[in-house]
A and B are shown apart, each in its own frame.
Chain A
Amino acid sequence: MKVSRNELTASLKKAFEGLGFSVGDYQDAAAMVIWSQMHGFNGLKQLQHALPYLNNCLCLHAELIRNGHYQALLNGQDSSILLSGSQTVRLACALARQYGSGFVQLDNCRNRRFIIQRLVSAAQSGCALAAYWEQGSTGFKVTIQPYDKQPEYAQYSLPKETVNQSLMIFSGTDLAMVEQQFSKQVSLHSDPQINSSEAMLDSYNNSLEQGIEIDETLWHELDNLVARVLVESTESSRAGAGD
């Protein structure tokens, strides 16, 4: 079935609220899923995989482990980027503002691809950003210029498989500075496979024009989560609507 972006946003916000997310968290989480889906990154599929976990865990955020001069280490507490991604990127941006550049490593986190929307959002306040994570035998790198709407998304083949569950965020006032920071921390030797900005934009425009395809099972799962924030209707509660 197809749904509109506004409709999906409303449903996701309430569903995340039903999972126990707070106001800022459910707004950010909904935005991450929608952006990912509309730009061709299968946000809804990622969410479908994450839901069983989200449904059975506490809403844990990132915890500050170490706070250096321009860098910080966070423990994601095995939680989802949907909960800890905003904190991480915001900390990186604050460090960049204070020191000219920033580096935040978030260990022990899930659903890292959702971070892209947070980078796009943070770039609108003038920050250049890069994110990097590894999964299996692939390295993922996302970069965005200050005020850009479209990030660059690149995948690299790694020499060996990894079980690393970390996410690195690099921040600065311009992308050259961020790339410099990045190259000090990460060495990538294969040619990147790049998702073009045009493809992302085409996917977005198509979703806007035609609606967003969603699996009916997931839609019903969301409905069930939404039901958690609804209050049983009684004769007396109808008085609260003006009857």
Chain B
Amino acid sequence: MRSDHNSAGKNSHPISAALPLRPASQVMQLDRLGSFHQSRLSFMRTLVRRMVQENWQINSTVFDLDTEGYGTVVYEVKAKYGTYSYVLFSHYLAPENRNDRVIADQWDLTMALCEGTVDTEQLAFLRNNVPKQEAGRVDSRVFVLSRGNRSGRTFEYVVDELAQGRQPDVDVIAEVGYLYRTTAAYGSGKLGMADWEKVRTKHRDFARPFAAEMFTCFMLRHFSLQHADYIAAQRAPKTAVQLDDDIKRYFGIGNSTGLGMAPFLINHPLLINQWIEQRETALARAKVAGADGIDSVILERFQIATDRVIQHLGEIMTGDVQQNISNAMVRQELQELSQWLLDEGASIVSSRYNWAELAHYAEQSWRVETQEVINTMLIELYPELVDELEELMAVDEDQHLIPHMSLWELRGLIEDKYDWALAIDFSQPDAQGSFWYRSQEKMEPRLGQTHIDMGVEKQMPLAIGRMVRECYNEVCAYMVEFPQQDVAHFILQQPNLSGAISRIQTMAQSHYGDIRENLVHSDVLPIHLLRCKLSFFGVSKFDPRSRLWVRNTMFQGAPLISDFDKPFMDDWQFPIKPVLSKSIDSDR
């Protein structure tokens, strides 16, 4: 094991100090993208850093709840550049109406994040519309509309325990990880809300991708903790206690994510490229930082992080057999790593072993999931090299066709950048065994089976590989007669291919390009798409419910609002159960 590690790096191929970014052929494989974890560049992490560093002041100006906890709450948020209002309505919801799907029409909580302060008139307007969610309308003063449902497993349990003067059992909390889960957070102009461009240009506090949406979920977490305390106190004013702060930090917000996120990734290829490029830049910087050897302090932090991930993965409860197997195998491989770090720490430092060698060994020996855990941990070690990249996560999704490009050049681009698409044999029945469509039910994206389900003629254009293949075939056929012609003349003959050509030409100029997967294959795993995007959001504890949707936890382990003015370590990645003081444990 020891010598394996050392020899893997030293004897295979030399690794230069100035590491290039990993190639698209490696990174853009769907199973790898689906193995990404939260990193320092994830939007929850960058939001929390900003809130703490700028010491945002968040206080409730309205807390109008009845004894059961139903009513209205308004929080005033004073950030660095502006003031905002987070408006929340708490409603009674019969258990049989609690549904996490997009098609639901009632929720326990509904919320809106608004610019400025909210007056009585606006509050009445919001009260009339926010609880309806997609069935209502808001205006451009609103950034985000969201909703949440209680956890059937934890909410009542926690309130009961608090009401009886006890802290809840951390093991019970660990099974779920949250009191409420959000089922949607709409922004970017949906339902009459402010456009992203308005938010980006006018409200610097939220001028990063999904910052306002993440903040809405962070505030839901804050309310959920307050809510449990409040209801317990209402039920048993004489005996109730408040949740311990360490337990509070261990609560996140649950999230259910389904297929709706998948089309977003395919329809925003430049944005996804940008995110991945920054993450890969962070990884390359981390590897370069350790190129001349790893010092003992950094190595010790890496050892602690490894053990923490092992514990984190061991605490994840999921009914998904494959995820359990995967978690167990990653833990096993990380335990090998941990043991090696323990045994060889001194020689690792003295031999000037470096991170590139470890990454190379992991690629040769361990699962993709383990490789990406290690990469995430490496990024975590160098905040001074990584954190500035958070400002580069936004990009305009603007695809441009280059009309004067020769068809020779276009054909060469396709062969070079889309070789993966040309390698797919679309004549095989399985290669087109699925199709994506929008349902009449709230336009919910769904995945159908070709020749079985209705609607193939209305499928969404998400099969990028097939689109490229069709374009390539037409270009080649046209070039037989007009070999010297340009794209402008070609699209006079084939106008329906202008979208494909715009995408090919645009993405060919990006570093990572399109996701390299046939998304209409019978066996496609959309869950990898969801998980990729969720990792950039910063969620943890992936709990797949099928190949089409996944539960996860947001902000678990993150600081509380009351922590904002305290020293901040920014190390809440891979949350683990808190170790409580003896007095709290004995109270139970």
Chain A interface (Cβ < 8 Å from any Cβ of B): 1-7, 22-25, 27-28, 61-64, 67, 74, 83, 86-87, 90-91, 93-95, 97-98, 121, 124-125, 208-211, 226-234, 236-238, 240-243
Contacts and interface: CB of A to CB of B under 8 A. Distances in A.
Contacts of B502: 24, 27
A34 B259 CA distance: 28
Contacts of A23: 461, 467, 496, 499-500
Interface string B240-262: 00000000000000000011000
A93 B404 contact: yes
A233 B488 contact: no
B492 A229 contact: no
Interface string B20-43: 000000000000000000000000
Contact of A6 (B190, B439, B491): B190
23 contacts: A22-B496, A23-B467, A24-B496, A24-B500, A25-B496, A27-B399, A86-B401, A86-B498, A97-B404, A121-B400, A209-B198, A211-B139, A229-B438, A230-B437, A231-B437, A231-B455, A233-B440, A237-B448, A240-B447, A240-B448, A241-B439, A241-B548, A242-B258
A157 B486 CA distance: 38
Given A25-B495, A61-B495, A242 B441 contact: no
B108 to A, nearest CB: 21
A22 B499 contact: yes
B198 A24 contact: no
Given A6-B195, A25-B496, A25-B499, A90 B401 contact: yes
Given A91-B489, A232-B440, A5 B400 contact: no
- List 9 tightest A-B contacts by C-beta distance, closest first: A24-B499, A4-B189, A6-B189, A231-B455, A23-B499, A24-B498, A94-B488, A240-B446, A242-B548
Contacts of B191: 7
Interface string B428-439: 000000000111
B444 A94 contact: no
Contacts of B500: 23-24
Contact of B488 (A28, A93, A228): A93
A168 B406 CA distance: 25
Contacts of B202: 209
A190 to B, nearest CB: 34
Contacts of A7: 189-193
A237 B189 CA distance: 28
Contact of A234 (B102, B438, B454): B454
B165 interface: no
A6 B194 CA distance: 9
Interface of B: 101-102, 137, 139-140, 188-198, 202, 258-259, 399-404, 437-441, 443-449, 453-455, 458, 461, 467, 486-489, 491-492, 495-502, 545-546, 548-549
B139 A237 contact: no
B454 A237 contact: yes
A98 B404 contact: yes
B403 A210 contact: no
Contacts of B447: 240-241
Given A234-B454, A236-B453, A242 B188 contact: no
A83 B498 CA distance: 11
Contacts of A242: 101, 258-259, 545-546, 548-549
Nearest to A94: B488
Nearest to A9: B189
A91 B401 CA distance: 11
B140 A1 contact: no
Contacts of B448: 231, 237, 240
Residue of B102, B399, B401 with most partner-chain A CB within 10 A: B401
B402 A62 contact: no
A229 B439 CA distance: 9
B489 A94 contact: yes
B330 to A, nearest CB: 25
Contact of A25 (B443, B444, B498): B498
Contacts of B439: 230-233, 237, 241
Contact of B195 (A5, A90, A94, A98): A5
Contact of B402 (A5, A22, A91, A125): A125
B491 A22 contact: no
A93 B488 CA distance: 9
B499 A241 contact: no
A241 B545 CA distance: 11
A112 B66 CA distance: 60
A67 B441 CA distance: 49
A91 B499 CA distance: 16
A227 B440 contact: yes
Contacts of B449: 240
A62 B492 contact: yes
A93 B146 CA distance: 45
A59 to B, nearest CB: 9
A86 B523 CA distance: 37
Nearest to A230: B440
Contact of B192 (A28, A93, A211, A229): A211
Contacts of A121: 400
A61 B140 CA distance: 37
Contact of A4 (B194, B438, B491): B194
Contacts of B499: 22-25, 27
Contacts of B548: 240-242
B400 to A, nearest CB: 6
A227 B489 CA distance: 34
- Residue from B192, B202, B403 having most chain A Cβ neighbours under 10 A: B403
B461 A233 contact: no
B140 A2 contact: yes
Contacts of A238: 441, 446
A27 to B, nearest CB: 6
A209 B492 CA distance: 38
A241 B445 contact: yes
A233 B441 CA distance: 6
Contacts of B195: 4-6, 208
A95 B487 CA distance: 11
A242 B261 CA distance: 13
A241 B400 contact: no
B188 A6 contact: yes
A7 B190 CA distance: 5
Contacts of A233: 439-441
Contact of A210 (B140, B402, B495): B140
A210 B31 CA distance: 43
Given A94-B488, A231-B437, A241 B101 contact: yes
Nearest to B526: A242
Nearest to B491: A87
A22 to B, nearest CB: 4
B468 to A, nearest CB: 12
Given A6-B189, A242-B258, A237 B403 contact: no
Nearest to A90: B403
Contact of B140 (A87, A90, A211, A230): A211
Given A4-B189, A64-B492, A232-B439, 20 more contacts: A1-B137, A7-B192, A22-B497, A23-B499, A24-B495, A24-B500, A25-B496, A87-B495, A90-B401, A90-B403, A90-B487, A90-B488, A125-B400, A208-B198, A230-B437, A230-B439, A230-B440, A231-B448, A233-B441, A241-B549
